[in-house]
Amino acid sequence: MLAANSIGKAFTVTCFGESHGKCLGVVIDGCPAGLLLSEDDIQAELDKRVPPKLELTSGRVERDIVEILSGVFEGHTTGAPVCMIVLNKEAVSSEYNAIKDLPRPGHADYPAHVRYGGFNDYRGGGRFSGRITVSLVMAGAVAKKLLRIFGVEVYAYAKAIGKVKIDENVTLEQIRENTYKNPVRCPDLSCAEKMEQAIIEARSEGDSLGGIVECVALNVPAGVGDPVFDALDADIAKAIFAIPAVKGVEFGAGFSSATMRGSENNDAYAICGGKIVTLTNNAGGILGGISTGMPIVVRAAIKPTPSIPKKQKTIDLSKLDVAVLEVKGRHDPCIVPKAVSVIESTVAIVIADHMIRAGIIPRVLWRK
Amino acid sequence: MLAANSIGKAFTVTCFGESHGKCLGVVIDGCPAGLLLSEDDIQAELDKRVPPKLELTSGRVERDIVEILSGVFEGHTTGAPVCMIVLNKEAVSSEYNAIKDLPRPGHADYPAHVRYGGFNDYRGGGRFSGRITVSLVMAGAVAKKLLRIFGVEVYAYAKAIGKVKIDENVTLEQIRENTYKNPVRCPDLSCAEKMEQAIIEARSEGDSLGGIVECVALNVPAGVGDPVFDALDADIAKAIFAIPAVKGVEFGAGFSSATMRGSENNDAYAICGGKIVTLTNNAGGILGGISTGMPIVVRAAIKPTPSIPKKQKTIDLSKLDVAVLEVKGRHDPCIVPKAVSVIESTVAIVIADHMIRAGIIPRVLWRK
Amino acid sequence: MLAANSIGKAFTVTCFGESHGKCLGVVIDGCPAGLLLSEDDIQAELDKRVPPKLELTSGRVERDIVEILSGVFEGHTTGAPVCMIVLNKEAVSSEYNAIKDLPRPGHADYPAHVRYGGFNDYRGGGRFSGRITVSLVMAGAVAKKLLRIFGVEVYAYAKAIGKVKIDENVTLEQIRENTYKNPVRCPDLSCAEKMEQAIIEARSEGDSLGGIVECVALNVPAGVGDPVFDALDADIAKAIFAIPAVKGVEFGAGFSSATMRGSENNDAYAICGGKIVTLTNNAGGILGGISTGMPIVVRAAIKPTPSIPKKQKTIDLSKLDVAVLEVKGRHDPCIVPKAVSVIESTVAIVIADHMIRAGIIPRVLWRK
Amino acid sequence: MLAANSIGKAFTVTCFGESHGKCLGVVIDGCPAGLLLSEDDIQAELDKRVPPKLELTSGRVERDIVEILSGVFEGHTTGAPVCMIVLNKEAVSSEYNAIKDLPRPGHADYPAHVRYGGFNDYRGGGRFSGRITVSLVMAGAVAKKLLRIFGVEVYAYAKAIGKVKIDENVTLEQIRENTYKNPVRCPDLSCAEKMEQAIIEARSEGDSLGGIVECVALNVPAGVGDPVFDALDADIAKAIFAIPAVKGVEFGAGFSSATMRGSENNDAYAICGGKIVTLTNNAGGILGGISTGMPIVVRAAIKPTPSIPKKQKTIDLSKLDVAVLEVKGRHDPCIVPKAVSVIESTVAIVIADHMIRAGIIPRVLWRK
């Protein structure tokens, strides 16, 4: 029953809205005063959320248009809560009536029905839809703008889609240049094409694909994060698990560190250009919940879209009997491309929150 | 700077203490009144944390003895905060002086030094030691006792140590019977022996091993958990990442779901004994952040112990120059066996917290 | 910098918006699913906030029209966050430019300027305006509707305006019948007329009045509230102090208990109709932070409106020199009449929050 | 059921312990690293809590001896949680058995019984005893030491006991010199004697007295505090209401501002020594929830001790019948003298919390 739609202790993001309701929205409380911020800043990030190719997405083609409702005055944030909304324009809800008692396998329909006693807005998944990530992207746009002032850059990209994986050696330049230039958000362009093909193929078979999104945060200074429970990795993981379809999160060497020896996995310290660095980064930039100054590297496993045209076994909640379901509606055959900008936003939100907690980002950016 | 040593909104666990300080302690706020609770209950769990074989552990042989300081009256919890401590008896701190300016690779020494401006208690890792998990086990003992009243059982076990993995088909009986009967906490006994050998071998080479701990929670009713940010999986993941050495967390099919198709990964619904179930459990018992009623299945990747006798490259913080480090002290060559009871405790804490939030566990257990 | 625009742990109210910005808004997270709720419910409470007589108020005559943006589906709350806004229609901001560097005595202008480095929206007081109470009234409307289902009624009324005080013996019937039928919100109608005259007189002299608002909450069951810090009285007091112009809060006998003896002040227990009651209610319905089952009685001291036409000494922040200020704009000569519905709303919010925490209000009202 | 024994978002104080349990304790999470802190610092404040004259207090003569359990290393705070306890030595619990079913009027016995289903530790009031303020004083000792580094001083004193009130013109010198030199903690020494007599007289009649404690905080810079809900006055009020026996809290002119006109109550701005000041301080140093730079002035109404030897009407909870109660045990005939150091501590805790939130107190005091 407790407030569960908020995250962050210093840069606090509260989300609201449903897939087929009036809007999706977000309130940021704790954004420092004095940040130059316009609707264009937010719009640019919202536009990155939705890949351009229709055959890769749900076919819901509305452009999400942001409106800032509060917290900005004369072009700057005021320190008061920033509320932003995107109106839902073209939701088609009628097709959900037919299946409202037939929980879709792999979706939150059934547990949500139990949790809310049947009062939840089931249309399009309601509060459990992937569309709620619009709120995260709006908040992430503010976080990213804030972080850039302090030199921090956050980049996510598709690392794997289905069985297609990108080469380990993708460069920072590729990431910066290519990620948002292709519909699957993969910085390795030849790999991107194969990913696109894989999605089209799965779709043509009435099926869907999952994948892996990797995210790196550069230039986070050493010393950001709090032990024990508000560890930086713990908070990033929690935020990423809030994104629908995420089933795993790992940092640095992650699950592969389980099979390494200490002598392999430990990152030796060195001095480079007068700065303390590590020669490898198996830690993914975080030790003991605190940033080391090396790039933060996190990966999320995204499950295949549960809404697929193929027939599936389910139950009819109204009769408590078995049933067969054919999901209609419009659904992305793979949500990895959308998840890229969402994870980038989410990681930026958590890092901004922790850099404010650390006192590195002050509560007024520039005093007049 | 914010309070970071607390977790849980309804069953709130606040930890304190250092590896070489006076004690380790925990305060539980929000434990329902009326729970029968004695020091024996806690002691039994503390005893499970430390495997019996010295060659597998740090050689620090003190038994951790709990003392309940508050919150229990006439054998029952009162609803007031329950504070419990374990005094540290035989810490040997002198050996840490030699290396206080030499951060150990893979440890939190360096980021902690930056974060706390050098004021942190570095002895034995201080607040970043694996010993802080004593606090989690004490709190977990209370959570487990509470959960058992409502039929919920939580079991963790070593799934992999180094390159030795257990068979997928380990049964619930094996888990219940065998896990704590062998020093590596593996329910598959033949596998347990191989794991033990692997640890002994790594140790003999001055090295260490990591592994994977799996945890299952049975009989959590459907409908427990909160969207969006306080998702049950998000909160379990956050809590597990607070445990030193965890580098990855996944639920159900986890990272392997990234390569599955929707039609494979979706868990079809069925009715079994009048109850709604799924025919597979790739979701790991959680969809949309809410429990489905199926077993909750979570796995954590544990990195190899960073403290190893082998020589390692580091830097001398007092001179800002390169240095070579030989870690002395007493260190487990593999912390997976200890992590088993810690993860079991941690998962129990989060589920208890969410079952209280859900109103399933009331704030008074039985009215007189 | 921490999130400061939210209150309540179970029924969490997050406010946003400014006096002269686009809107005022509120997000309620934690409202139980299944509450019948319409815009009419909210509108009725918003209409009560603004007394009908223009000469008693700021002359800003726009009617505040609510729009529900989320959290309601098919006429019921869904359990998802309820966001509501009121658009600002007729703010006249130009007159504030002239005085933006001249902080108004008794207003937050100067400390807000320091706190936000000059980035705060100063128009009409911005985030510090009395208009922000629109958000509280919207949230209070939901809280009151929720409480009524559980038999709890909350009534506030003007107890004193300037030097005019109502008789101690006002009845519950008078409160219910008369409070909102007169522009000063006083249940004693002859007193109400004198209060109205006092306001008109102060206004004609270019001055303003304060007063006292009393609020009673009936039928709160015994046992609601939490020691130590989340005491029911502590939380009510905190919430009331968030209302602009409140300078004191007291419960039951309040400050007069300071001069009483224990034997006078203690409320003796008795049994009445099978129910445990107290023969007096000097405690104001709360002991040890927990409700006793008797009416909760709280009073707030409201200072005279700081914005007055009379000339006042201030400083010019741009020159750091003394200056003389004549406040133009539209300002209520006494805000007690508006504060009545705001305090009623605020007390309802806190009691709803604590009744959910207590498990008395469940997280789903009726299962379908 | 929610965690209710913690306060503060940046300097977070969690209390535990009961009047007749093993100990009283506190955990401070968020204390900056690098603060010189010893048990002597805490002990000095604990000693101030208990007035020296036995006839004015409960007759429970144990000296409270602090033990620091964690968070301090080599004489400085480390940034890790600071846990401190005071063992209870000479509680006599037997006399409480006789009255365990007879709730004492004016005490929390009855609502606590309902709230905790009878499982609460009723001995000496258990968690509702005035003894829990030992935890506040320990935490306050740390807060005060921290604040002094930043020039902030906090002083409380008895302003009124029963019908004896001190002269308005008490000076800062009197406050500093005299408050803790007399058993009633009144800076006006002639008044102090009268207060002492009043207490002795009430006691001799088997009765008790209340009073008013005033607290001033000097040198809090302008700009500390957060709107809307985490207003500095709101947070101070909430914390003070957590202290047993407080029935009212007011700032500056407080309740008397209700009868003032705006032109009287507004504090005109002026410049004095290059600093912006107000010519009066009716606001009590806080406007819009933010400090103005003027002294913060807050007063609390303390009710007369409810435990009195006089016979009182109550009910027998075991029979649900009326009963007559004679409270034995040891009870202060007036708790105002003890409340002085407790309120001083509490106000210091809240101001420290907000100065950390404001970034004025950094998270590391001096880097080595």
Percentage of chain C modeled with pLDDT above 70: 95
d(CA A234, CA A227) in angstroms, rounded, equals 10
Query: Which chain B positions have a beta carbon within 8 Å of D21's beta carbon?
Result: 69-70, 73
Would you state the pLDDT for residue B225?
96
Query: Stretch C9-30: mean pLDDT, rounded?
Result: 96
pLDDT over threshold 90, residue C61:
no
pLDDT over threshold 50, residue C65:
yes
Q: Which of A226, A290, A355, A367 to mutate to test the interface with D (most CBs of D within 10 A)?
A: A226
CA distance to B4, B179, D51, D139, per residue, from D348 (Å): 21, 51, 20, 9
- Paired residues of D73 in beta bridges: D76
**C36-50, C333-347, D91-105, D244-258 — which is least confidently predicted?**
D91-105
Contact D359 A358 (CB under 8 A): no
Look up residue C191 and give its two tokens.
Answer: 């007193």
What DSSP state is assigned to residue D334?
B
Would you state the pLDDT for residue A331?
81
**B70-74, C177-181, C198-202, D324-328 — which is least confidently predicted?**
D324-328
Average pLDDT, chain D: 93
User: What pLDDT, in 10s, does the model give residues D193-240?
Assistant: 999 999 999 999 999 999 999 999 999 999 999 989 999 999 999 999
Contact D78 B17 (CB under 8 A): no
For residue D311, the tally of other CB atoms under 10 A from its CB is 12
Would you state the pLDDT for residue C55?
62
Look up residue A239 and give its two tokens.
Answer: 């935020």
Tell me the pLDDT band of D55, cut-offs 50, 70 and 90. low
What DSSP state is assigned to residue A322?
E
Query: Stretch C48-67: mean pLDDT, rounded?
Result: 78
Query: Which chain C positions have a beta carbon within 8 Å of B227's beta carbon?
Result: 80
Contact B119 D5 (CB under 8 A): no
d(CA C288, CA D109) in angstroms, rounded, equals 8
Task: Please report all neighbours of C, defined by 3+ CB atom pairs within 8 A.
Answer: A, B, D
Tell me the pLDDT band of C1, cut-offs 50, 70 and 90. very low
User: What pLDDT, in 10s, does the model give residues A137-164?
Assistant: 999 999 999 999 999 999 999 999 999 9
User: What pLDDT, in 10s, does the model give residues A304-355?
Assistant: 999 999 999 999 999 989 999 988 767 889 999 999 999 999 999 999 999 9
Percentage of chain D modeled with pLDDT above 90: 87
Contact D362 A359 (CB under 8 A): yes
CA distance to A49, A64, A189, A340, per residue, from A133 (Å): 9, 12, 26, 11
User: What pLDDT, in 10s, does the model give residues B95-147?
Assistant: 677 778 999 999 999 999 999 999 999 998 899 999 999 999 999 999 999 99
Amino acid at B37: L
pLDDT over threshold 50, residue B368:
no
Percentage of chain B modeled with pLDDT above 70: 95
Query: Which chain B positions have a beta carbon within 8 Å of D132's beta carbon?
Result: none
Contact A3 C9 (CB under 8 A): yes
User: What pLDDT, in 10s, does the model give residues A53-88?
Assistant: 756 666 556 789 999 999 999 999 999 999 999 999
d(CA B38, CA D191) in angstroms, rounded, equals 52
The phi and psi torsions of C240 (rounded to 5 degrees) equal -70, -40
Contact A226 B2 (CB under 8 A): yes
Would you state the pLDDT for residue A366?
74
Query: Stretch D82-89: mean pLDDT, rounded?
Result: 96
CA dihedral C361, C366, C367, D4 (to 10 degrees): -10
pLDDT over threshold 50, residue A99:
yes
**What domains sit in chain D, N to C, each tagged with a CATH number?**
6-357 (3.60.150.10)
Would you state the pLDDT for residue D89?
85
Tell me the pLDDT band of C164, cut-offs 50, 70 and 90. very high
Contact D254 C248 (CB under 8 A): yes
**A297-306, B154-163, C52-61 — which is least confidently predicted?**
C52-61
Pairing between β-strand B82-87 and β-strand B23-29 as defined by DSSP bridges:
antiparallel
Look up residue A225 and give its two tokens.
Answer: 């994060």
- Please tell me which residue of chain B has the smallest CA distance to C9: B9
Sign of CA dihedral C67, C237, A81, B225: negative
Q: Which of A5, A70, A349 to mutate to test the interface with C (most CBs of C within 10 A)?
A: A70
Q: Do D324 and D313 contact (CB within 8 A), yes or no?
A: yes
Q: Do B330 and B315 contact (CB within 8 A), yes or no?
A: no
Contact C115 A79 (CB under 8 A): yes
Q: Do B342 and B335 contact (CB within 8 A), yes or no?
A: no
**D314 to chain C, closest Cα gap in Å:** 4
Contact C33 A119 (CB under 8 A): yes
ipTM attached to this prediction: 0.97
Query: Stretch A121-132: mean pLDDT, rounded?
Result: 92
Look up residue B236 and give its two tokens.
Answer: 């379990």
What DSSP state is assigned to residue B257?
G
Most trustworthy range by pLDDT among A246-250, D90-94, D123-127? A246-250
Task: Please report all neighbours of D, defined by 3+ CB atom pairs within 8 A.
Answer: A, B, C
Q: Do B213 and B165 contact (CB within 8 A), yes or no?
A: no
Residues 6+ apart with CB under 8 A from B294: B267, B277, B278, B281, B283, B285
Tokens 């569960």, residue located = A4
Long-range CB contact pairs, C41-47, < 8 A, 24+ = C41/C141, C41/C142, C41/C145, C42/C66, C42/C68, C42/C84, C42/C138, C42/C141, C42/C142, C44/C141, C45/C137, C45/C138, C45/C140, C45/C141, C45/C144, C45/C341, C45/C345, C46/C86, C46/C134, C46/C137, C46/C138, C46/C141
DSSP three-state, residue C133: helix
Would you state the pLDDT for residue B157?
98
Contact C250 D247 (CB under 8 A): yes
Number of CB pairs < 8 Å for C and D? Answer: 376
Out of D241, D252, D267, name the one closest to residue C234 (CB). D241
pLDDT over threshold 60, residue B302:
yes
Query: Which chain A positions have a beta carbon within 8 Å of B160's beta carbon?
Result: 258-259
User: What pLDDT, in 10s, does the model give residues B147-172?
Assistant: 999 999 999 999 999 999 997 789 99
Tell me the pLDDT band of B1, cut-offs 50, 70 and 90. very low
Query: Which chain D positions have a beta carbon within 8 Å of B116's beta carbon?
Result: 33, 78-79, 364
pLDDT over threshold 80, residue C219:
yes
pLDDT over threshold 70, residue D92:
no
**B221 to chain C, closest Cα gap in Å:** 16
Would you state the pLDDT for residue D15?
98
Would you state the pLDDT for residue A177?
96
Would you state the pLDDT for residue A93?
67
**C15 to chain A, closest Cα gap in Å:** 8
Out of A2, A5, A17, name the one closest to residue C10 (CB). A2
Out of D5, D15, D33, name the one closest to residue B117 (CB). D33
Amino acid at A346: T
Query: Which chain A positions have a beta carbon within 8 Å of B126's beta carbon?
Result: none
Q: Which of A107, A265, A355 to mutate to test the interface with B (most CBs of B within 10 A)?
A: A265
Tell me the pLDDT band of C316, cut-offs 50, 70 and 90. very high
Contact C255 D248 (CB under 8 A): yes
- Please tell me which residue of chain A has the smallest CA distance to C27: A16
Q: How far apart are the first and last CA of chain A?
A: 43
Query: Which chain D positions have a beta carbon within 8 Å of B364's beta carbon?
Result: 116-117, 119
Closest C-alpha among B185, B183, B188 to residue B172: B188
Number of CB pairs < 8 Å for A and D? Answer: 11
Would you state the pLDDT for residue D1?
45
The phi and psi torsions of D123 (rounded to 5 degrees) equal -65, 120
